Chains A and B, each alone.
Chain A
Amino acid sequence: MSVSLLLLAIALLALIGFGLARRRALSSAGGNPRELHSLPGYYGWHGALMTALPALAGLLIWLLVQPVLIERSVSAHFPADMIAADSSLALTMADVRRVAGGIDVALTAGAMKTDDAGRITTDLAQVRDTLKAVGVALGSDVTTEVLAAAQDYRRLAALGATGRALLVLVLAIAGMALAIRATDKDFRARNRVEQVTLGALMLSSSIAILTTLGIIASMLTETFHFFEAYPIADFFFGLTWSPNFKGDSQLGILPLIWGTLYISLVSMLVAVPLGLFAAIYLAEYASARARAWIKPLIELIAGIPTVVFGLFALVTVGPFLRDYIASPMGWGDSGSSVMTAGLVIGILNIPFISSLSDDIINAVPQSLRDGSLAIGATKSETVRQVVLPAALPGIMGAVLMAASRAIGETMIVSMGAGAAARLDLNPFEAMTTITVKIVSQLTGDTDFGSPETLVAFALGMTLFVITLGLNILALAIVRKYREQYE
């Protein structure tokens, strides 16, 4: 029985469980639902849940355990030194699975007879031809041991499938029987069902935690692997970034951090004045009508995918800066530069700063403004000397959040900033960032043992720590500020 068929069977049994439990509850109350503790539907749900949940859990555990057990038993076919080397065993097991899968394909395609399939353990050439005929090409390193192992694998897998079906069905029927036995007019079916629902809700909310744990765990382990292969001091204090997949790489993070911070700085120089002034204008000067139009329009910028900004940087901003500013002034002739990426990220960040600051400025109590205006300050003096100082912590929070976004931005920098890691002050030179290097080290054909690949995880960890720190700081500032006026 295949897994999907089993799932269907479980669903069917759960349906039956629903009907049986509900009927039994009603008949125990003499057909009068008012005699029951819970609504009749809850008895049905209890029956269905009791049928399905144990069976599903059993199926899940079986699916997780079976491959491990089969692999262990099949690997007995191979010499001991091969098992010791972890990677070659993994490769051979992949071959075994492919041969086994190929034989199954050949069986369903009718290119092999059922009795033949089980017997062929020696004639490699014949198997190769038959499998090729059905479109499964075998590598030259497939040996007779692999073939024997594949046969073993098929036998065990078939056994496993039968066992799995048996276990699941037994669990489902036993669960159903238990549920039906428990069903009685005084049985608290609703409470039980609600307990299960609550459990499901709790499980869902723990996924957020699991995600964070997953991020940290996956990056930490790989980062540790990286530091086993590459000295930690050279990574954090190295001034050169020149990965070389043949070995002997220099993987210093400082040029990347410099590029990241430089680009973020340029972007903040664009986004903070524009965003802040736009927010002040919207909050203090614009009429309600204009505000209702302008605010969503500015927020539209935030809804545009970053890859669009990337193309804009690559095709429009980069060549413009090169042809009209950098080249005539003799500052360089690179289309991708810190300036290009910084400007475009700045545009992207305007709506974040303006929207957040707008909310914060609006939250400043009107009485402060009234007091200032009453003693004769002009509107701009009120804004500069009363409203902004009061809103400053919140605005700082918004700016920090925008900075963290600029640091974590990937597509715009990989299309607009270039790929050359260098420590330079000239903003019209191409520089690169942490995120760009994560992408370039992890895409393409990569070997997950080499430090050149693993360094991406260390870079990711660094990025995660920086942005997380900025966000926690920003949230703390905003929260503290909010309490001030409440």
Chain B
Amino acid sequence: MTDTPKSGSIFTQTGLMAKRNASEKRFRFYGLVAVVASLMMLAFILFTIFSAGLSSFRQTTVTFSLELTEAKLDPKGGRDPAKLAKVTTVGYNKLIGTGFAAAIKEHGIEIEGLTDKDAAGFLSDEAAANLRDRVLADPTLIGQTVEINALVMGRIDGFMKGRVTAESAANDSNISAEQLALAKALDDKGLLHLSFNPAFITGTDASDTRPEAAGLGVAILGSAYMMLLVIVLALPVGVAASIYLEEFAPKNKLTDLIEVNISNLAAVPSIVFGILGLAIFINFAGLPQSSSLVGALVLSLMTLPTIIIATRASLKAVPPSIRDAALGVGASKMQTTFHHVLPLAIPGILTGAIIGLARALGETAPLLLIGMVAFVREYPGAPPAGFSDPASALPVQIYQWTQRSDPAFVERASGAIIVLLVFLLVMNTTAILLRRRFERRW
């Protein structure tokens, strides 16, 4: 001990100590910054999605009265459904266009330079299709004057929601200044409404040019079919596999291999499962492309490792004393497992299954490969036959909408994300509640 420290009292801070304390503070601050930054990013992502997407649940319609002239819709008379169906949407389009122009005049709105084409283009093409469906469902309407709520075109809808402004419309060939003036005038008269739009959730997808009519119905139904099939396929198999590995499997090379395999499968990129689905289920087994059945098979294989890992953890958590007691009163190993261990592990298994299912619900990439990028306008049929009908899925629908040029589809995609997040939130909350409610501490 030749070196004695020079410093005197331990109550005064030396230069070195001050430095070390400052570095301590800095270090702690970095940690806090990292946490706050991560949380801010989460909040920012959610904020951008919600601020862009909430408006998609409301849609602009214009209300006016329209005479359904018999001469146009049923020239022969007699209300024969087959003949009525001969009048296409083009016919209805003309009728609705002239009716709308008349309604504008009737309300005393005069816009300088507004052509008939502008007036007709103000309404969505979907308005004519909707009117046609309404007339075909109830032919007695022909000849009457009815009040209709027509969808307006996507740009006008954007104008009402503040997405389209006079400046942005100036460089946009799809909308004219006169149409915006018309929208303003109609809004002043109280004819333009921005109201809740159930068709966004229940309707079918629409083509590139009519974002105002695009809905999520097919995608939600397709996702629901797939989740149903994933539960039916992956849950029993996953639970059975975990029971074998946890309770029965001898410790040997083969079971070791299976275990390593499962943990590796959990980390395989999801797109590889898509390649597997394409090669085996579609090309080899000949199952129908873009059907919810193939989608569910792929997602099941993907979810299986998650379910197995969760189930094994909850089987492991059941104390050995339960098994010993059951074996002690003469139950066989199988009876012990199925009558005593499994029921106690069910909450944990369900939690794991729901979490796996939530992951499967948000998965996109493998579904793209099995042909789910097709434009599907038909609802899939009722199960079980409907499982092989072409379907869409929520995340795929979101992806498709983001690939379209009209910015109105970004709003739609964000709205679809909100729907997806709501589903995920419900599933994850259920999982957490299940765990809280039934979890037992041994």
Contact = CB atoms under 8 A, between A and B. Distances in A.
A288 B332 CA distance: 45
A447 to B, nearest CB: 12
A277 B27 CA distance: 9
A453 B27 CA distance: 52
Contact of A464 (B272, B361, B417, B421): B272
Interface in A369-415: 378-381, 383-384, 401, 404-405, 407-411, 415
- The dominant DSSP class at the A interface is helix
A378 B13 CA distance: 14
- The dominant DSSP class at the B interface is helix
A305 B420 contact: yes
A448 B278 CA distance: 11
Given A212-B261, A312-B49, A201 B35 contact: no
B267 interface: yes
Contacts of A380: 23-24, 26-28
B102 interface: no
Contact of A273 (B27, B34, B257): B34
B85 interface: no
Contacts, number: 244
A315 B45 CA distance: 11
Contacts of A204: 236-238, 240-241, 244
A457 B304 contact: no
B47 to A, nearest CB: 10
A222 B276 CA distance: 11
Contacts of A273: 34
B90 interface: no
Nearest to A219: B275
A303 B423 CA distance: 12
B301 A315 contact: no
Given A281-B35, A350-B38, A464-B268, A307 B334 contact: no
A294 B27 CA distance: 19
Contacts of B267: 401, 404-405, 467, 471
Given A415-B399, A468-B268, A316 B263 contact: no
B170 interface: no
Contacts of B413: 311
A304 to B, nearest CB: 7
A261 interface: no
Contacts of A407: 269
The CB with the most chain A CB atoms within 10 A, among B45, B248, B260, B333, is that of B45
A294 B35 contact: yes
Contacts of B424: 303-305
A117 interface: no
Contacts of B150: none
Interface stretch (B122-130, B136-144, B344-352, B364-372): B364-372
Contacts of B261: 208-209, 212
B73 interface: no
Contacts of A415: 399, 402
A182 interface: no
Nearest to B28: A285
B31 A277 contact: yes
Interface stretch (A50-58, A154-162, A423-431, A434-442): A434-442
The CB with the most chain A CB atoms within 10 A, among B236, B244, B305, is that of B244
A298 B269 contact: no
A308 B49 contact: yes
Given A281-B28, A381-B20, A435-B271, A218 B34 contact: no
A344 B31 CA distance: 20
Interface string A220-232: 0010000000000
B369 A475 contact: no
A1 interface: no
Contacts of A311: 49, 398, 402, 410, 413-414, 417
Given A218-B279, A305-B362, 13 more contacts: A202-B244, A205-B249, A207-B241, A207-B304, A218-B275, A278-B38, A298-B39, A310-B399, A379-B24, A410-B364, A411-B365, A439-B369, A456-B275
19 contacts: A200-B240, A208-B258, A208-B265, A215-B268, A218-B280, A274-B37, A285-B28, A285-B32, A298-B42, A305-B361, A311-B414, A312-B45, A315-B402, A378-B20, A380-B26, A435-B269, A435-B271, A444-B373, A475-B263
Closest 10 CB pairs of A and B: A408-B269, A305-B362, A281-B31, A277-B34, A218-B279, A380-B27, A204-B240, A201-B244, A410-B365, A205-B241
